[in-house]
Structure 1
Amino acid sequence: MTVSPPPASTRLPRRRSVSPRPLLHTPNGLAYTDEHAEDRSIEGVLLGVVGERSESQRFAMERLLCRVCAEPAERSRDGMLWLLPLPSDTPDQRRREDWPEGVMAIEPPVCGEHARAAPPFWEGGYQVFYAAEAELVGVYGTLHPAPGVLADPVERILRFDDPRMPWMVATQFVRQLRRLTPAAPDQRR
C-alpha cells in the first residue's frame, strides 16, 4: 500500500534544531536563562526541545492528529484510533484483548490508513485500539532533582497535578486512554 504525504497545510510544524539550553534553578522550579512564552505549555510546564520530533509529538497530541500524516485521527462510535505497543509482560507476545484500562499513551493517535500500513516497528508487537476517552493528563520528559535533593535527573511521566512538575523539562504530552475497544481485524498488525 502506498501512503501519500499530507497536504502542506496540515503538516506538522518544523522547528530548527536547538542545542540544549542552560537551565536556572529558581525557588519556583526550572526556567531557561533566555525563556520566552512559547517555552511553556498552556499548563505552565517547561518544554524541552530534543529536535523536531518532540514538537511534532506535542502538536499532534494536543490536536489529536495522526502521528504520521497530521490529518485528523480516525474516529468511530468506539472512539479514536490508537496504535499501542503490547505490554512487555504479555505472555508469548500474544495480542491482548483485555488492554489495561487507563493506559498512558505518549504517542499520538493514528488515521485508519496509517494504522493498516504501519510497519512492525515495536519489538514485541503492537495492537490497534479505539479509545472512547483520551484525556491529556501529563507529560513525559526529564525530571530534575529539586534543590537540596541528591539525585540524578530521570526520564519519566508526570501528571499535571504532580507537585514535582516545576522540576520537569517535558518533551512529550501524555494522554490517558480509557474505555478501550480492539479495532477490527483488518486494522490489526
Structure 2
Amino acid sequence: MIAYITAWSAEQDLPCALVERPDRSIGYANELLSDRDRHGVLWRQTALRHRVGKPEFARVHPLRQRRAMELLLCQVCGGPADRNDDGVLWLQRDHSDDWPQWPEGMASVEPPVCLACIPVALRLCPALRRGAVAVRFREYPIAGVRGALYGRSVLAPAAVTAGNFAYDDPAVRRVLASALIRELRGCTVVPLVEIATRLGL
C-alpha cells in the first residue's frame, strides 16, 4: 500500500513563472484562482497524476497533503481520520525529548490517520520505526504553511530560505507553499499496545 499523500514520479512541479505583484507579494505569470488557498497564499503547482509511475517516498504531494489536512483525512488511505471524544488521531515521530510538554502545541505538516492504517504506517515509514506515538488532539487549528520564501531579484523572485510561516506573518505573502500546518493542542497519548489490541493484532 502506498500512502495517499506520497508523490509519484509522474507528479513533477509544473513550469510556472514567478513574478512580482504590485502589492509586493509573489504570484504566477498566468495565475488561476485555484493557485491560492483561502488565505491568499500561493501554492506550488505540481502535476496531479496519482498512481502514475513510481512512488517517491521522500516526496509529499502538495495538493493531497493540503486536502488531507483541510478535511482531516487519513494520510495513508485518504479516508476519514479516526475521531472520538478525545479528538482526532495522529501518529507522530516520538520527539518527547524536545520539550517537556511535547506534543502539546506542536506544529505538524503530517495529516492525521485512521485506526486501521496505523500498522501500515508503522511498517512503511522508516522514521516511525525509530519511535512513534499515537496521540489524539481535541484542537487542531490551521496555523500556516511550510514553503519557500522568495526575495526580490533583478529578473524574477528568488528563493532565499525555507521554513514554516504563520498566516498572520506578513512574509507569508512571499511564500510558495508546499504543505499546510496545523497546531495540535489538547493531547491524549494513546498507547500503541491499546491500538493493537483494538485491531486484534
TM bracket, shorter-chain basis: 0.7 to 0.9
Is residue 74–residue 80 contact of structure 2 (8 Å, CA) maintained in 1?
yes
1:177 has 2:179 as partner? no
- 1:156 alignment counterpart: 163
TM-score, reference length from structure 1: 0.79
Counterpart-to-counterpart distance in 2, 1:59 and 1:168: 19
1:138 has 2:141 as partner? no
Which secondary structure state, in structure 2, belongs to the residue aligned with residue 166 of structure 1? helix
For the aligned residue pairs, the C-alpha RMSD in angstroms reads: 3.0
Query: Could you list the runs of 5+ residues in structure 1 that have no partner in the other structure?
Result: 6-10
Deviation at 1:153, TM superposition (A): 1.9
Counterpart-to-counterpart distance in 2, 1:82 and 1:101: 12
Deviation at 1:147, TM superposition (A): 6.2
Is residue 25–residue 147 contact of structure 1 (8 Å, CA) maintained in 2?
no
Query: Could you list the runs of 5+ residues in structure 2 that have no partner in the other structure?
Result: 49-60, 197-201
- 1:117 alignment counterpart: 120
Is residue 66–residue 179 contact of structure 2 (8 Å, CA) maintained in 1?
yes
After superposition, where does 1:16-55 map in structure 2 within 5 Å?
A: 17-28=12-23, 29-50=25-46, 52=48, 53-55=61-63
Deviation at 1:32, TM superposition (A): 0.2
Which secondary structure state, in structure 1, belongs to the residue aligned with residue 116 of structure 2? helix
Is residue 35–residue 45 contact of structure 2 (8 Å, CA) maintained in 1?
no
- 2:172 alignment counterpart: 165
Q: Residue type matched to 2:149 in 1?
A: L
Which secondary structure state, in structure 2, belongs to the residue aligned with residue 175 of structure 1? strand
Deviation at 1:184, TM superposition (A): 3.2
1:106 has 2:109 as partner? yes
Moved more, 63-72 or 50-59: 50-59
- 2:94 alignment counterpart: 86
TM-score, reference length from structure 2: 0.75
Counterpart-to-counterpart distance in 1, 2:177 and 2:45: 8
